[in-house]
Chain A
């Protein structure tokens, strides 16, 4: 067990990783915070009656943080699978699980938190200095921390696939990863469409005959499962449940497992 996971060694690894990667975190946080400052200055100088609502800034905060989560593995561990650059990290006396968890903590948790905190602090500071432009603190805005469990799955799928893509591809990692994710998404949509348009054609026609309105999208698979309209159609209900589990659990777990396996078996 100690060979696989040793808390002291893991602590040393986290300490080493953070010490080495702080400059990159600070750089990214500074750039994204300065964009907000630029936004404020532009509004102050060029607009006659400048007001930037808290909810608009919440959107920027989340987009910037999501961008950081998605790009985290590429920024922090770009050289991991490089034939020469990767040797230093893989030969470090720590186990694969320790390296894997440290990679997740640093790139998918700590770095986004640093960026989130930095933007939030910058926004709060500007709100205090110039409340007429930055109207209201964003952390008291209703849209702040307004998450549903289904949107959480949507949020974590892409970063986990980025973690996998960063380990899987050696060149043009970002492009190849996004193309793969887009391809996987299209295939999944096609499977869903095929099932509902051809396999359950008769049942779906009967459901439509009930004159009920519903939207069939991947995001609302969980809600669709709860929809009473399918109560009389157990096959559809089971299919929706399987698709929802596949999307919300299978994809994230698959991406994580794939990334771990890749890290364990990567050759230089």
Chain B
């Protein structure tokens, strides 16, 4: 669905990406992780057709995003981290824009709005930031686009809404669609995102499914730090150890620990997953 080859991008003199390669397939919910400033939002904006790449190739569903073909936009929706809402009634916003999306489902929109407990007859400007974001997410999911790009979707949402968000995203996922979620709040979206992509300033450090991660790495909790661990993290009541999985026993992937392990053992992690 998304094919990125030798992508280079920079803001004036600040290079963000230098020859990165990435392949994303339909039917999956990708979690895009990375430290601040590594280019998660930039990558989403390149995929969404908002930024032009300097060199390399970015092909999304057979389109070059920056060509801004209307057929391309019919099948993609980008939810930005900071949504600047227009001065419009939410239902009117959805009705007027829904006409442009061939698979838009108005009933689904109203159902999601009810689930999120947002009044569609209010103006965006009268709603809180979290409610505005929920309304936009409801519209994005009702547009039924093949590709959904979400930049920090759980930011600004209250605790019940985060659970609802997980539920509606998992329901929205199907074999034809691809969802890419950039987030720092991995705990909000744990059990939802699979595969995991970890970016750093040099490119893509990891792009693996949870199953493969679990095959290659072992995450365990113990009262003392392990000598063989790639990463050991002090947590209340003990230590989270991340080790190379040598015995084939699968463990539950702790995404935060995976992220820290990857960042502190870049070469080693690359070798483990390439072997």
Q: Please list the residues of chain A having a beta carbon within 8 angstroms of any beta carbon in chain B.
A: 3, 6, 9, 12-13, 15-16, 19-20, 23, 79, 82, 84-85, 87-88, 90-96, 98, 264-265, 267-268
Residues of B within 8 A of A23 (CB): 87
Given A267-B51, A268-B50: A94 and B70 within 8 A (CB)?
A: yes
6 closest Cβ contacts across the A-B interface? A93-B73, A268-B50, A93-B74, A16-B96, A93-B100, A84-B84
CA distance A95 to B99 in the complex (A): 15
B100 with A94: CB separation less than 8 A? yes
Contact size range, B: 20 to 34
Q: Which residue of B lies closest to A11 (CB)?
A: B99
Given A16-B96, A84-B84, A93-B101: A9 and B70 within 8 A (CB)?
A: yes
CA distance A93 to B143 in the complex (A): 11
A92 with B92: CB separation less than 8 A? no
A95 with B100: CB separation less than 8 A? no
For window 47-79 of chain B, which residues contact chain A by CB distance below 8 Å? Answer: 48-52, 68-71, 73-74, 76-78
Give min CB distance, A265 to chain B, whole Å. 7
B80 with A84: CB separation less than 8 A? yes
Residues of A within 8 A of B236 (CB): none
A20 with B86: CB separation less than 8 A? yes
Residues of A within 8 A of B83 (CB): 84
Give min CB distance, B96 to chain A, whole Å. 4
Residues of A within 8 A of B126 (CB): none
Residues of A within 8 A of B163 (CB): none
A3 with B69: CB separation less than 8 A? yes
| Interface residues of B, dominant DSSP | loop
B92 with A19: CB separation less than 8 A? yes
Residues of B within 8 A of A88 (CB): 84, 86
CA distance A180 to B80 in the complex (A): 33
B97 with A84: CB separation less than 8 A? no
Q: What are 16 sample pairs from A and B whose C-beta atoms fall under 8 A apart? A: A15-B96, A16-B96, A16-B97, A16-B99, A19-B92, A20-B96, A90-B50, A90-B68, A91-B73, A92-B73, A93-B70, A93-B71, A93-B74, A95-B70, A265-B52, A268-B50
Q: Which residue of B lies closest to A98 (CB)?
A: B70
CA distance A79 to B85 in the complex (A): 11
Q: Which residue of A lies closest to B72 (CB)?
A: A93
Residues of A within 8 A of B50 (CB): 87, 90-91, 267-268
Give min CB distance, A186 to chain B, whole Å. 31
Residues of B within 8 A of A13 (CB): 100
9 additional A-B pairs beyond A9-B100, A93-B71, beta carbons within 8 Å, are A12-B99, A15-B96, A16-B97, A84-B82, A84-B83, A90-B68, A92-B73, A93-B70, A96-B68
Give min CB distance, B156 to chain A, whole Å. 14
Residues of B within 8 A of A93 (CB): 70-71, 73-74, 100-101
Give min CB distance, A184 to chain B, whole Å. 27
1/0 per residue, CB under 8 A from A, across B86-128: the answer is 1110001000110111000000000000000000000000000
The reply on B162 being an interface residue by CB < 8 A is: no
Give min CB distance, B153 to chain A, whole Å. 15
B96 with A91: CB separation less than 8 A? no
Give min CB distance, A100 to chain B, whole Å. 12
Given A84-B80, A92-B100, A268-B50: A20 and B88 within 8 A (CB)?
A: yes
Give min CB distance, A7 to chain B, whole Å. 13
Residues of A within 8 A of B82 (CB): 84
Q: Which residue of A lies closest to B11 (CB)?
A: A267
The reply on B45 being an interface residue by CB < 8 A is: yes
Q: Which residue of A lies closest to B75 (CB)?
A: A93
CA distance A23 to B89 in the complex (A): 12
Residues of B within 8 A of A98 (CB): 70
A91 with B49: CB separation less than 8 A? yes
A268 with B69: CB separation less than 8 A? no
Q: Which residue of B lies closest to A266 (CB)?
A: B50
CA distance A81 to B97 in the complex (A): 19
Give min CB distance, B48 to chain A, whole Å. 7
CA distance A95 to B71 in the complex (A): 9
